[in-house]
Structure 1
């Protein structure tokens, strides 16, 4: 009888940990602010479910937001949380107003995130940030974050493809088509994949932020490639 109870205990723990591993990641939207904040609005997804998976996803989102709110050298980020970054952004504005009291320029920062794809294999999240710190115009930046659904591991672009060169050959005509439609003249013989690639309902989206390959006036360059054209080169299934 004692041995029977021991076996039951082992089976219970095995079942418990299996359930934890298979628990699906779900997302809710959260708003983050601080006391005396009047400049920053942050609305981002928060992962819940398996703690190991969700913690890795949430940490990557947090670090991306902290980086977006940082003013100055990106190698000198000291904030350990989004709340600290919001406070630091407001404090920087106070310093600006002290140094330039005659300026009527208002600072602002808006960061929004959304789940653009979620399957049993991969999660893609888009974070859109707009910051204005008194320059001629604000800075709009979109970041795609990709994660392994099973582990929560953050994925680099080269981890999305089994054959990067073959994927580039498919992507290049799409890139050239957008340039033609927007009357952008670039040396397309130097074609490179963008920093931001993500999975969406429409296919694999490639997005070049302002200044990445073209002047500010040309704006963001973005296009989608249907999955059926590149599925042979993808590591992760889109379904």
Structure 2
């Protein structure tokens, strides 16, 4: 019995040590040499330290997000941030050779910060601005959530006990915030929800003020309207969350 108890205490101690190590970060910076008519790439993100599952999960998730953001022609085989940066610059150079008078230098700025963390969950916010020609670039935010204990990335459905109930609750708050009448269709005031039905964004993250829902530009409204944000205090959201947050 004593040996089993000792084993349990050692296991708990090891988990605690691993979790403490998992929350240690350094800044990873990737940029290229700039010139007057050159493509600009500037990346600054947190890099998780330590050889454990959580650190590996966080670093892989960030790497994959950045590779996707820099993948212009969707044919890149880059498997690293550096490789994706080089491919992004090469794509512009090839386009500039074909259309030298029409192509403006491209730009990619990506900045990551630790938005929220406690003993159970950590959220990393990834801000990006990508310009690859045209009238304007595209800026957005991505929120990556991680289960600290299990070292796993959390998809949207992993956040809730019952996603449908949370969606129904959120629609009431959304209508009040955006002045959409309760007895009218969700698109009655100009929103563009597909099939005339309210839905949650893919982009949801933990913050100090509450659970943040982030609708991308174009997702439910015109580009001119910009992103639509909805913050639900934890006093309201905790009923639905698998990871309840103490207000």
Which TM bucket (shorter chain)?
0.7 to 0.9
* 1:43 corresponding residue in structure 2: 44
What is the Cα deviation at residue 22 of structure 1? 4.0
SS at match of 1:194: coil
Q: Is the 8 A contact 2:95 2:103 kept in 1?
A: no
Decide which of 220, 224, 243 is 1:236's aligned counterpart: 243
User: Quick one: which of 15, 18, 22 aligns to 1:21?
Assistant: 18
TM-aligned CA distance change 1:22 to 1:99, over 3 Å: closer
Once the two structures are superposed, what CA deviation does each residue of 1:153-210 show, in whole Å capped at 9, x if it has no partner? Answer: 11111110002122112211332234339x9522675100001011100100000001
Give the total of aligned pairs: 226
Q: Secondary structure at the match of 2:239?
A: helix
Over 3 Å counting, the alpha-carbon distance change for 1:131 and 1:202 in structure 2 is: same
1:82/1:98 CA distance change after superposition, 3 Å? same
CA contact (8 A) 2:112 2:125 kept: yes
Alpha-carbon shift at residue 96 of structure 1 (Å): 1.6
Structure 1 residues 35 and 20, CA, compared in 2 at 3 Å: closer, same or farther? Answer: farther
Per the alignment, residue 53 of structure 1 pairs with 54
Give the gaps of 5 or more residues in structure 1.
Answer: 1-9
Give 5+ residue unaligned stretches, structure 2.
1-6, 181-187
The whole-number CA distance in structure 1 between the counterparts of 2:13 and 2:164 is 43
Could you tell me which residue of structure 1 aligns to residue 185 of structure 2?
A: none
- Secondary structure of 1:233's counterpart equals coil
How many angstroms apart in 1 are the aligned matches of 2:209 and 2:235?
11
Alpha carbons 2:112, 2:124 under 8 Å: kept: yes
Match of 1:200 among 207, 230, 237: 207
Return the alpha-carbon distance in structure 1 between the equivalents of residues 158 and 69 of structure 2.
Answer: 24
Q: Which residue of 2 aligns with 1:30?
A: 28
* Larger RCO (CA under 8 A, 6+ residues apart): 1
The alignment partner of 1:29 has SS state of strand
Q: 2-side partners of 1:32 and 1:16: how far apart?
A: 36
Residue 184 (structure 2) aligns with: none
Deviations 1:12-45 (A, max 9, x none): x979855643434122222113567851000111
Q: How does 1:114-193 map to 2 (within 5 A)?
A: 114-180=113-179, 185-186=190-191, 190-193=197-200
Quote the RMSD (CA, aligned, Å).
2.6
Match of 1:7 in 2: none
CA distance in 2, matches of 1:190, 1:111: 33
**1:121 to partner: Cα distance:** 0.6
How far 1:213 moved relative to its partner?
1.1
